[in-house]
């Protein structure tokens, strides 16, 4: 822990003394590798790990800034992935975390209801959906479940919950949101209120949250996990309101992107790859200064339409700070190695600026300070 604290203090001191707009000063190989590694969050297989496992090597060699845990392996169609019992998960997290010089983000999708990785059959507490809580609209009930979730995650060493969903329930039959009860409400004020409560309970235990899925997935008529998702004719500007309120009141650690396409916002790229949406709207219009994290880059809305290098280049230049490769829809044990190599190559070719890498690294390290 002393080494971790020293590393963070030195890194932050170096960053504070540097001029982030100066691209003429050379960056040594180790430095750029460290910064790029922090921009990758990776999924992996295994209920336990050994020093020879690739995810441990990636952590030890600084190729990743975080990991994500799942209860199910989608590609293999099995219920064996990373979660078996509370003790097993705690040991798994600790065994990977100990190999990383910089503390890892350890993330999970623990929304409650259908999107619930820590299930009762594994020995974890019962959860309820966000829709159930939104319809109940009782602050005490939402706080009860949020506190229980936060306590569970904290006990396991998980420090990031990809929750709450702040998509508005504009289309109750939306396959990825409304149809599986992931939205609190169609009313932005109800979404804001209950999201705030969830985040407050997580923050009490030094846990971080991701608001998702920007700029709003609740009106979609298709699922971006499965392919191209066009919300041009269904999206409404009111879908930005929960983000605006949560950002204005300092309840936004991460904002997660949506792989949706909206011709009215960007006629060329889906949101994750769109500078107009990620930078012009989220950063400049809504004044978000935290970490932008992609949804899973393996989802078909991206992987079926863009090559890996193009998707990485466009998303980083759009303003995304961390790329998730969940390694669940598609599995590639070497994805962190490939990701670092691709980003480094793009920097060397001038397709991604060193300033852009520095900006993401600064934001990531600032957020990781909250974990100490």
**295 in active site:** yes
SS3 of residue 116 by DSSP: strand
Structure tokens at 119: 């299930």
Cβ neighbourhood burial of 39 (10 Å; 0-12, 13-18, 19+): buried
- Please, which contacts does 117-122 make with residues 24 or more away whose CB atoms are closer than 8 Å? 117/69, 117/70, 117/71, 117/83, 118/71, 118/83, 118/89, 118/152, 119/71, 119/83, 122/71, 122/83, 122/84, 122/85, 122/86
Three-state DSSP at 190 gives helix
Q: Tell me the C-alpha to C-alpha distance, in Å, between residue 176 and each of 60, 205, 209, 232.
A: 35, 29, 20, 17
Report how far apart, in Å, the C-alpha atoms of 296 and of each of 139, 187, 329 are.
31, 27, 9
Strands (E) in 186-235, as ranges, are 208-214
Helix, strand counts (H, E) of the chain:
13, 10
Return the CA Rg of the chain: 19
For residue 234, what is the DSSP state? T
Q: Which of 223, 253, 266, 295 is the catalytic position?
A: 295
For the annotated catalytic residues, the residue numbers are: 295
């Amino acid at each position: 822990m002393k080494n971790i604290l020293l590393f963070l203090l030195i890194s932050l001191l170096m960053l504070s003394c540097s001029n982030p707009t100066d691209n003429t000063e050379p960056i040594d190989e180790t430095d750029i590798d460290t910064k790029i590694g922090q921009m990758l969050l990776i999924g992996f297989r295994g209920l336990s790990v050994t020093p020879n496992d690739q995810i441990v090597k990636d952590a030890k060699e600084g190729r990743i800034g975080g990991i994500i845990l799942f209860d199910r392996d989608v590609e293999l169609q099995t219920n064996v992935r990373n979660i078996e019992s509370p003790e097993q998960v705690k040991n798994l997290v600790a065994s990977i975390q100990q190999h990383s010089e910089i503390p890892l983000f350890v993330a999970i999708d623990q929304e409650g209801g259908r999107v619930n990785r820590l299930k009762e059959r594994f020995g974890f507490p019962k959860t309820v959906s966000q829709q159930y809580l939104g319809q109940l609209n009782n602050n005490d009930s939402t706080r009860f479940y949020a506190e229980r979730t936060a306590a569970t995650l904290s006990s396991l060493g998980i420090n990031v919950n990809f929750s709450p969903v702040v998509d508005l329930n504009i289309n109750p039959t939306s396959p990825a949101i409304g149809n599986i009860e992931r939205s609190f409400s169609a009313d932005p004020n109800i979404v804001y209120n209950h999201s705030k409560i969830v985040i407050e309970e997580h923050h009490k235990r030094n846990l971080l949250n991701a608001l998702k899925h920007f700029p709003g997935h609740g009106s979609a008529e298709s699922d971006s996990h499965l392919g191209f998702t066009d919300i041009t004719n269904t999206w409404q500007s009111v879908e930005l309101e929960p983000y605006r309120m949560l950002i204005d009141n300092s309840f936004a650690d991460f904002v997660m992107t949506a792989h949706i396409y909206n011709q009215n916002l960007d006629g060329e790229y889906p949101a994750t790859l769109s500078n107009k949406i990620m930078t012009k709207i989220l950063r400049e219009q809504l004044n978000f200064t935290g970490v932008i994290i992609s949804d899973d880059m393996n989802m078909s809305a991206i992987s079926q339409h863009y090559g890996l290098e193009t998707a990485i280049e466009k998303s980083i230049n759009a303003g995304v700070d961390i790329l998730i490769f969940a390694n669940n829809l598609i599995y590639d044990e070497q994805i962190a190695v490939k990701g670092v190599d691709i980003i480094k190559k793009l920097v060397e070719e001038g397709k991604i600026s060193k300033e852009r890498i520095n900006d993401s690294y600064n934001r990531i390290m600032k957020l990781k300070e909250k974990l100490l």
